Structure 1
Amino acid sequence: MKIEVKELSKKYRDKNALHQISFTLDEPKIYGLLGRNGAGKTTFMEILSGQILASSGEVLINGENPFDNQKLTQSICLIKEGQNFKKDLKVKHVLKIYSYFYPKWDEELAQELIREYNLNLHAKVKTLSKGMESALGIIVGLASKAPITVFDEPYIGLDAAARKKFYEILLEEYEAEKRTIIFSTHLIDEVSLLFEEVLIFQEGSLVLKEEAELLRNNTYAVSGTIEEVEAFIQDKEVIQKKQLAGMMTAYVYGEKQEAKNQGLNVEGIPIQDLMIYLTDRKGA
């Protein structure tokens, strides 16, 4: 499903949660939606899923607005950090309700995940631990088989082993049947290898949209004496630079081989570090 974001803005009183962002997601991929707290990620995901209206601009899915559009909303599953389910419902009733809502619901996968996470079907949502409530959200998100599946910090309370299992199953399901998966997380180092494309938000604006593989290959740190590095980066796209005791390190977007040919020290930059540099308030 094609997602078009056109001059999208959302204002809460005197604060702009989103400010005229525009981009297109036109094919099934695993997208990493990154940014610091308050960057506008959750607001965007709620508009995309038809839960709230934009102040101006629009999100179109296959040319249609998702707000108050059941044909579209049954193709979108948003699993947030919490408050996804009514507290007085039992787990089995939550799963039954969602199985009716999503036409492509995979009951076999849901049952497999219930066993994997050892989830009590007869427990009420309000009695679940934070980790078990997150597991329920993960089950709904994956089993929905929604063409657009959005996870907003879906694993709060899960231990490292349970998160790892989630990532493995997510990738298996994606490979078996491609869909657009938008994944917002602060544990970027854990999941960055899953991302095929990365979007970075900063204070309601889109500061970067790039193929993940290009970022990994073309973003690097180059180190040497101040004179050497300054000479090298003269005509380069520099993200950030810092110096200490006559030495300098610059974070550069471009071709690594040129720096290596000049004898400079070259290292890759993890996507998490890149996000931090790009959203640093002093240099944003």
Structure 2
Amino acid sequence: MTGFGVEVRDLTARYGTTTALDAVSFTLRPGVITGLLGRNGSGKTTALSILAAFRRRTSGTVLVDGEDPWENERVLAGTCLVRESGDVANDQKLKETLEFLGDRRPLFSRELADTLMDRFELDPLSRPDRLSRGKRSAFGVVVGLASRTPLTLLDEVHLGMDAPSRYAFYDALLADWVEHPRTIVLSSHLIGEIERLLEDVVVLDRGTVLTMSDAETLRSGGITVTGPAEAVEAFVAGRDVVARQRLGRTAQATLVGTRADDASRARQTGLELGPVALQDLFVHLTDRPAGATTEESR
């Protein structure tokens, strides 16, 4: 099993007078970890809820493993959506929830679940309504990873966790995905933390797709320039600078867009060129005035 592929075409979702998704189109490659990135209110949760058949779409086409997921028993059995709240019954002990999932999820790994329960110091006899926000989030991670579904959707599931727990989650996700490849969608705005996990990226903003690309191609759309502050400022003059840092006489600037002579100019002036962080590109892509169109902001 390498995971379910997903194809979304012209997907629109409305709630009353609010349009959460406006003719959105994107694909998710099977067996790949994709970052679904966007600010709060961008439409991430709505998109994932429709993929998991938690919500109906207003219009458009959604295919999961080649089929419409709505009321599709086969596709739903192979899809797991976990949100930060954990989406588990509050009146059941954690061990009872794991037993329930073990009986109904054919690929569920009780061994992995037990390992993660220990790692996150979760008491199997506790109930979700008696856990802290961080522990509830950690249990959501246990459910999402141990289910090993062909399509695993993790919607900001790690936000309630402290930094050490989040990094333990990232390590566990990557290690288990390497051993058991499947399609994983990781929704987040903590991009600096998760970018090492991502092979593909979809960026949503105000219900539209700003960009869809593999992460390396997206990163190659810009460069960081590091060196003496005056030389850096001369190098970036007139360029599209999206981030700056300075420590004493040393400065670093992040540019969107590259030029053919960048490498030679950098060598001549003693500057170092490096890759651009997805976080900086994300801020650049989504930083536009209210009321501006996507095209106007580019």
Q: Smaller-chain TM-score range?
A: 0.7 to 0.9
In structure 1, how many angstroms separate the alpha carbons of the residues matched to 2:205 and 2:130?
Answer: 36
In structure 2, how many angstroms separate the alpha carbons of the residues matched to 1:56 and 1:127?
Answer: 40
Alignment of 1:242-253 (within 5 A): 251-253=255-257
SS of residue in 2 equivalent to 1:262: helix
Match of 2:170 among 142, 167, 171: 167
Residues 145-177 of structure 1: CA distance to partner in whole angstroms, max 9, x if unpaired? 101111111123322111111111111101101
In structure 2, how many angstroms separate the alpha carbons of the residues matched to 1:150 and 1:45?
Answer: 7
Matched-pair contact (CA < 8 Å) for 1:239–1:253: no
Match of 1:193 among 177, 191, 196: 196
In structure 2, how many angstroms separate the alpha carbons of the residues matched to 1:241 and 1:100?
Answer: 50
Residue in 1 that maps onto 2:18: 15
In structure 1, how many angstroms separate the alpha carbons of the residues matched to 2:186 and 2:254?
Answer: 29
1:216 Cα shift? 2.5
In structure 2, how many angstroms separate the alpha carbons of the residues matched to 1:179 and 1:258?
Answer: 41
Alignment of 1:1-284 (within 5 A): 1-82=4-85, 84-221=87-224, 224-225=233-234, 229-230=237-238, 251-254=255-258, 258-263=261-266, 266=273, 268-282=275-289, 283=297
Worse overlay, 166-175 or 77-86: 77-86
Superposed CA RMSD: 2.3
Corresponding letter in the other structure for 2:217: L
In structure 2, how many angstroms separate the alpha carbons of the residues matched to 1:261 and 1:229?
Answer: 16
What is the TM-score with the length of structure 1 in the denominator?
Answer: 0.87
In structure 2, how many angstroms separate the alpha carbons of the residues matched to 1:121 and 1:250?
Answer: 47
Identity %: 34
Corresponding letter in the other structure for 2:256: V
What is the TM-score with the length of structure 2 in the denominator?
Answer: 0.83
In structure 2, how many angstroms separate the alpha carbons of the residues matched to 1:239 and 1:19?
Answer: 30
In structure 1, how many angstroms separate the alpha carbons of the residues matched to 2:11 and 2:211?
Answer: 16
In structure 2, how many angstroms separate the alpha carbons of the residues matched to 1:16 and 1:208?
Answer: 19
1:220 Cα shift? 2.2
In structure 2, how many angstroms separate the alpha carbons of the residues matched to 1:258 and 1:54?
Answer: 48
Q: Structure 2 unaligned runs (5+)?
A: 226-231, 245-252, 290-296
Corresponding letter in the other structure for 2:213: E
In structure 2, how many angstroms separate the alpha carbons of the residues matched to 1:149 and 1:79?
Answer: 8
In structure 1, how many angstroms separate the alpha carbons of the residues matched to 2:242 and 2:169?
Answer: 34
SS of residue in 2 equivalent to 1:210: strand
SS of residue in 1 equivalent to 2:62: strand
1:71 Cα shift? 1.1
Corresponding letter in the other structure for 1:68: E
1:262 Cα shift? 3.3
Matched-pair contact (CA < 8 Å) for 2:37–2:188: yes
Matched-pair contact (CA < 8 Å) for 1:239–1:278: no
Matched residue pairs, number? 270
Q: Structure 1 unaligned runs (5+)?
A: 243-248
